Amino acid sequence: MTDSSPLALEVSHAVKIYGALPNAVKALNDVSIDVANNEFFTLLGPSGCGKTTLLRMIAGFETITEGSIRLFGENIENLPANKRPVNTVFQQYALFPHMTVLQNVAFGLTMLGKSDREANGIATRMLDMVQLGEFSNRKPTQLSGGQQQRVALARALAPSPKLLLLDEPLSALDLKLRHAMRVELKQIQEELGITFIFVTHDQEEALTMSDRIAVMSNGELQQIGTGREIYEEPKNKFVADFIGETNLLTTQVESIQGANAVCVVGNHTPLECASAGGISIGDTGIISIRPERITLTKPGSDATGSNLTGTVKRFIYLGTDTQCMVELDDGTEIHVRVQNAHDSATDFDVGERASIKIDQGAARLLVN
């Protein structure tokens, strides 16, 4: 993922404000990120969270209101977009319809002053890399959406930018093609060793490709970490809820045992929870439990950790797994996901009582 080279990108305390008081809108609020050289770094969040604004500021399409942007140690926030050693791949491919695929990829190189022979040679290598060499003489309208996206990627990579920015480039593709392009993008990034900064609202996309992910909401950075870190150890309720599925239970800290907290849920049932620290007895918060970390057992069976009980209310068949909804005695809903290779969830009938076993360390306390 990284090497000993300087950081590829340093964004420090970035603020972006649109308009003037009293109607000013703060699109970014004190955002700082460091991206390592050769890293696949993703900005993830819902629409309007500020991720595309941040990407456009890095590209030079938006000015920065406060803060700084450094690329390989050099300040670039005052450089115009055409002077920055970065390229951008947009959701809309913007290919020239009157040019061939090869001409589209070579165009930017020609504008940089390279000879036709050199530009075409580089363009040919780029098309071979994205497995489109045999389509070099076709027009963009003769290609599928996925093939057009790969042409746009080859065009952006041809000038050998220090940084490649990708603004939701896969969102217009169908599901199977998106899955295939995720693998291709990651392979290309690893092969070329170019730093990628990828913007998406798709959590699965981010988890599949990224070395690290920055989760954003309302113009603010919520958490940076590997996919495993943000999924298994979310810092707050937003991250826990946005990344994958989770059960969120309101709770109060009853006692503290080392790094863990004993919290009460349901009808004052004690539950041991992992905690990031900084908590006190009596604090209120939210417990996050992933549905795949829960098992249903028969009441009275020998199942250590089955200290919650409820009534099975509903099953939803999802192909690879089955979702079961259980209602605790206080009305709280718990969702359980069981792979269909196992049938423990479907051992139950709707209306039947069940004990809930939570995997060791799966309950995480979030104090907001």
Give me the phi and psi of 236, to 5 degrees please. Answer: -155, 180
For residue 44, is it within any domain?
Answer: yes
Angle between helices 175-192 and 116-129 (to 10 degrees): 120
For residue 3, is it within any domain?
Answer: no
pLDDT of amino acid 346? 61
Domain end point (choices 237, 261, 290): 237
Please tell me whether residues 206 and 269 are part of one structural domain. Answer: no
For residue 2, is it within any domain?
Answer: no
Reported confidence tier of residue 160, pLDDT bands at 50, 70, 90:
confident
Are 166 and 9 contacting, i.e. CB atoms less than 8 angstroms apart?
no
Beta strand spans in the chain (E): 9-18, 25-35, 40-44, 66-71, 74-75, 86-89, 163-167, 195-200, 212-217, 220-225, 247-257, 260-265, 269-275, 284-289, 294-297, 308-317, 321-328, 333-339, 353-358, 364-366
For residue 1, is it within any domain?
Answer: no
pLDDT of amino acid 368? 62
Please tell me whether residues 92 and 20 are part of one structural domain. Answer: yes
Query: For the segment 265-283, what is each residue's pLDDT rounded down to a tens digit?
Result: 876 778 889 887 788 898 8
Reported confidence tier of residue 2, pLDDT bands at 50, 70, 90:
very low
What pairing do the DSSP bridges indicate for beta strands 308-317 and 353-358? antiparallel
How many independent structural domains does the chain possess? 2
What's the count of helices (H) and strands (E) in the chain, helices before strands? 8, 20
d(CA 288, CA 336): 13
Please tell me whether residues 30 and 66 are part of one structural domain. Answer: yes
Domain end point (choices 184, 212, 237): 237
Q: pLDDT > 90: what percent of the chain?
A: 54
pLDDT of amino acid 164? 94
pLDDT of amino acid 67? 96
Please tell me whether residues 116 and 228 are part of one structural domain. Answer: yes
Query: For the segment 81-106, what is each residue's pLDDT rounded down to a tens digit?
Result: 988 999 998 877 788 999 999 999 99
pLDDT of amino acid 317? 86
Please tell me whether residues 207 and 309 are part of one structural domain. Answer: no
Cis peptide bond prior to 22, omega within 30° of 0? yes
Average pLDDT over the chain reads 89
Domain that holds residue 342: 245-366
For residue 4, is it within any domain?
Answer: no
Write down the pTM of the prediction: 0.88
Please tell me whether residues 96 and 74 are part of one structural domain. Answer: yes
Query: Does residue 205 surpass a pLDDT of 90?
Result: yes
Please tell me whether residues 137 and 269 are part of one structural domain. Answer: no
Please tell me whether residues 258 and 309 are part of one structural domain. Answer: yes
For residue 274, is it within any domain?
Answer: yes
Q: pLDDT > 70: what percent of the chain?
A: 94
Range name among 51-55, 176-180, 292-296 with the lowest pLDDT average: 176-180
Reported confidence tier of residue 31, pLDDT bands at 50, 70, 90:
very high
Question: Smallest Cα–Cα separation from 289: which of 212, 342, 366?
Answer: 366
In eight-state DSSP terms, residue 210 is -
User: Hey, what are 207's tokens?
Assistant: 């988890």
* CATH code (residue 184): 3.40.50.300
For residue 184, is it within any domain?
Answer: yes
Please tell me whether residues 298 and 348 are part of one structural domain. Answer: yes
Give me the phi and psi of 354, to 5 degrees please. Answer: -145, 150
Please tell me whether residues 225 and 249 are part of one structural domain. Answer: no
Domain end point (choices 237, 259, 276): 237
* CATH code (residue 293): 2.40.50.100
Higher-confidence position of 162 and 269:
162
d(CA 298, CA 348): 8
Please tell me whether residues 260 and 152 are part of one structural domain. Answer: no
Please tell me whether residues 289 and 227 are part of one structural domain. Answer: no
Query: Does residue 343 surpass a pLDDT of 60?
Result: no
For residue 355, is it within any domain?
Answer: yes
Query: Does residue 357 surpass a pLDDT of 80?
Result: yes
Are 264 and 275 contacting, i.e. CB atoms less than 8 angstroms apart?
no
CA atoms within 13 A on the CB side of 32: 4
Reported confidence tier of residue 1, pLDDT bands at 50, 70, 90:
very low
